[in-house]
Amino acid sequence: MEWKNELAALLKITYPVIQAPMLGVTTPEMVAAVAERGGLGSLPVGGLSPDRTRELIRKTRSLTEKPFAVNLFTNEVPEYNREEAEAMQDFLVKFSEENQLVFERQSLDTLRFYSYREQVEVLTAENIPMVSFTFGIPDDESIAVFKQHGITLIGTATSVREAVMLEKAEVDAVVAQGIEAGGHRGSFLDDEPLPQVGTFVLVPEMINRIGKPVIAAGGIKDGITIKAALQLGAQAVQIGTAFITSHESLAIPSYKTALQRAQVTDSAVTRAFSGRWARGLRNQFMDAIEESGLNIPPYPIQNVLTAGLRSKAQQADRKEFTNLWAGQASAGGEIHSSAEIFARLIAETEALPLY
Ligand SMILES: Cc1cc2nc3c(=O)[nH]c(=O)nc-3n(C[C@H](O)[C@H](O)[C@H](O)COP(=O)(O)O)c2cc1C
């Protein structure tokens, strides 16, 4: 099995297999485990404060000398309707009382959102070699700073149009995120309906249209799917859901158990938790918000309104009331170390016939 290609060389990895950044699930330990095995670990810091970003980078560095990517959310904070946000809070108060949950109403005047712009300096000061991002394209100034520091840039696209825009912004590689993928959609164009293209349609389309290496993401979970994505012309794969059940993951026990039992039909794309489209296992919270008929405030407003409730539900291991991000290919997650999961992915791919 020939793993070497242009992108693997650029990313300085033995295997073009990327552990997807998964905010709320990925830990420095997971990133380091994959990096040590010759893959690319990705540390998610989307929406975090500069201090927390620095702390997580340093923690990861203390665990591995191998390079890893740091992942940003490059969205802007939109205008939103305050009445709708208050109506959502009214609903959450009632919902919490009915379900013995803890919900603390927030003053809309004091909501605080961190921008990726506040993190750029931390990444350059810490000599981060690779930055991946989702939910948009960094502004010209940030791209220029990354380039001055020789940072390799990986953007996320869910449509060919988005990929073309990323290429124009001079990223080094593009993640083609299919609709199968777990977690948030990286989509960032407001003037087209949410792209819902599957990975195996999106990857060859993108390869035909852009001159940059394409990374396949969504529904990849074993040797055969890795091999198929590489045969389609992807230069790497990015795998998320398969690592959620790992020992190093932050996922709560009931989330891991639900993933192990999941059928391929158990996930849905929803805006209920964060205001942004994301794929997760269906649960009571998702259904209740959707059935409420309320207008869901946009990301990151809804995200911050529901954050406290989700965090308390996680502390109590109550999976019905927090986001259970997962891709369609979530069935049969293994409770193993990240290193073992990574080794299995490589071994399975290598065991396949060459044709
Ligand atoms: C729990 C979870 C959290 C995620 N968080 C992020 C994130 O912080 N940044 C990002 O670029 N992608 C994020 N994603 C999307 C992944 O990068 C990737 O596109 C996806 O996991 C690939 O599909 P798969 O889950 O079928 O492997 C997340 C995915 C999951 C499952």
Q: What is the mean pLDDT of residues 208-230?
A: 98
Q: Determine the pLDDT at residue 253.
A: 98
What is the DSSP pairing of strand 69-73 with strand 173-177?
Answer: unpaired
Question: What digits encode the pLDDT tens for the residues 229-285?
Answer: 999 999 999 999 999 999 999 999 999 999 999 999 999 999 999 999 999 999 999
Ligand 1 midpoint to CA 94 (Å) = 31
Entry pTM: 0.98
What the block records as the tokens of 310 is 């989700």
Answer yes or no: are the C-beta atoms of 244 and 25 closer than 8 Å. yes
Q: Determine the pLDDT at residue 336.
A: 95
pLDDT exceeds 80 at position 94: yes
pLDDT exceeds 70 at position 54: yes
CA dihedral 136, 137, 141, 147 (to 10 degrees): 140
Ligand 1 midpoint to CA 217 (Å) = 8
The answer, yes or no, to whether any atom of ligand 1 lies below 6 A from the CB of 182, is: yes
Question: What digits encode the pLDDT tens for the residues 300-351?
Answer: 999 999 999 999 999 999 999 999 999 999 877 888 999 999 999 999 999 9
pLDDT exceeds 90 at position 355: no
Tell me whether residue 156 is exposed, middle or buried, using C-beta atoms within 10 angstroms of its C-beta: 0 to 12, 13 to 18, 19 or more: buried
- Architecture (CATH level 2) of domain 1-77+113-248+337-355: Alpha-Beta Barrel (3.20)
Ligand 1 pocket: which of 239, 325, 334, 338 to mutate (most atoms within 8 A of CB):
325
The answer, yes or no, to whether any atom of ligand 1 lies below 6 A from the CB of 187, is: no
Ligand 1 midpoint to CA 22 (Å) = 5
Ligand 1 pocket: which of 174, 175, 184 to mutate (most atoms within 8 A of CB):
184
- Sequence spans of domains, the chain: 1-77+113-248+337-355, 80-112+252-329
What the block records as the tokens of 344 is 């299995």
Question: What digits encode the pLDDT tens for the residues 125-155?
Answer: 999 999 999 999 999 999 999 999 999 999 9
Ligand 1 midpoint to CA 256 (Å) = 16
CA distances from 197 to 20, 137, 204, 303 (A): 19, 20, 12, 25
